[in-house]
């Protein structure tokens, strides 16, 4: 169905400007509330965003000392110390360079004997923190947000998901071969994402053109997970290099 949404669309001149705009939104949020609960994402698209946050911290413009963070997802079966893990990614791109307290940093646990229990515990931690204040998202070519693949119900919380082959192919650049890309991940559910008070979605590059067009269509369907964002009252989409 078609719905009316409170989307704000910002077209950036280039990738660097997109990253700077997004970082400014988060920095302004932290300045207003030092105890902000941040929802963070990984992948190629947010790297410039994290570079801007680190630069702002080093310039004395922002502090993360009282903030708390929750990451969207993590691969199942990948050790946190592995360079392909999202734990490693976040340390490399942000946490090792700012003053966020380790006790306030949270990522899903991809290595657990009981993954379903780990997912339920992560969901409970997010709720106990009062839910995410401001959530960063990217989008997959097939419309996934977090690792919620097409067909994922909109009403599920943090859960274990089998990754689509297209997602594994897109992520193989971070591994030695496609065989090394995990088949499953633990991810915030769409319900969890929609519980965030504010959402910032980054879209960059021609490979995301189809996903961008489908999102602009405002048609909400579980076949396109990002369309669930049209059910949220405060979404800012910052995009570049797409028509």
**Residue 51 CA, distance from chain mean position:** 16
pLDDT, one tens digit per residue, over 190-204 is: 999 999 999 999 999
Contact criterion met (CB below 8 Å) for 237 and 215:
yes
Q: Is residue 201 part of a domain?
A: no
Q: Is residue 200 part of a domain?
A: no
Q: Is residue 27 part of a domain?
A: yes
Q: Is residue 76 part of a domain?
A: yes
Radius of gyration of the chain (CA): 17
Query: In the chain, which ranges are continuous DSSP H helix?
Result: 15-32, 47-58, 86-93, 115-128, 165-171, 190-194, 209-217
Q: Which residues are catalytic?
A: 73, 142, 144, 149
Q: Is residue 203 part of a domain?
A: no
| pLDDT score for 174 | 86
Q: In which band, very low, low, confident or very high, does the pLDDT at 1 lie, cut at 50, 70 and 90?
A: very low
| pLDDT score for 112 | 87
CA distance 120 to 115: 9
Q: Is residue 4 part of a domain?
A: no
| Number of independent structural domains in the chain | 1
Q: Is residue 42 part of a domain?
A: yes
| Residue 113 domain boundaries | 16-193+209-240
Q: Is residue 47 part of a domain?
A: yes
Say which residue the tokens 């065989």 belong to.
179
Residue 4 confidence (pLDDT) above 70: no
Q: What is the CATH number of the domain that holds 180?
A: 3.40.50.1360
CA distance 13 to 15: 7
């Amino acid at each position: 169905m078609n719905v009316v949404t409170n989307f704000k669309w910002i077209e950036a001149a280039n990738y660097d400007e997109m990253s700077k705009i997004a970082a400014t939104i988060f920095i302004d949020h932290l300045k207003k509330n030092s105890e902000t609960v941040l929802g963070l994402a990984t992948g190629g698209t947010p790297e410039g965003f994290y570079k801007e946050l680190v630069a702002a911290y080093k310039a004395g413009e922002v502090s993360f000392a009282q903030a708390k963070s929750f990451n969207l997802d993590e691969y199942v079966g990948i050790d946190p110390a592995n360079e392909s893990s999202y734990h490693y990614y976040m340390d490399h791109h942000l946490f090792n360079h700012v003053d966020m307290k380790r006790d306030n940093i949270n990522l899903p646990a991809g290595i657990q004997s009981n993954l379903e229990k780990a997912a339920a515990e992560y969901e409970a931690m997010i709720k106990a923190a009062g839910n995410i204040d401001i959530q960063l998202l990217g989008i997959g070519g097939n419309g996934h947000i977090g690792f919620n693949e097409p067909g994922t119900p909109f009403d599920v919380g943090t859960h274990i998901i089998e990754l689509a082959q297209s997602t594994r192919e897109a992520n193989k650049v971070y591994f030695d071969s496609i065989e090394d890309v995990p088949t499953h991940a633990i991810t915030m559910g769409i319900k969890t994402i929609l519980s965030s008070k504010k959402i910032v979605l980054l879209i960059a590059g021609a490979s995301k053109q189809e996903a961008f067009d489908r999102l602009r269509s405002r048609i909400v369907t579980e076949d396109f997970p990002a369309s669930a964002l049209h059910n949220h009252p405060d979404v800012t989409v910052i995009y570049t290099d797409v028509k």
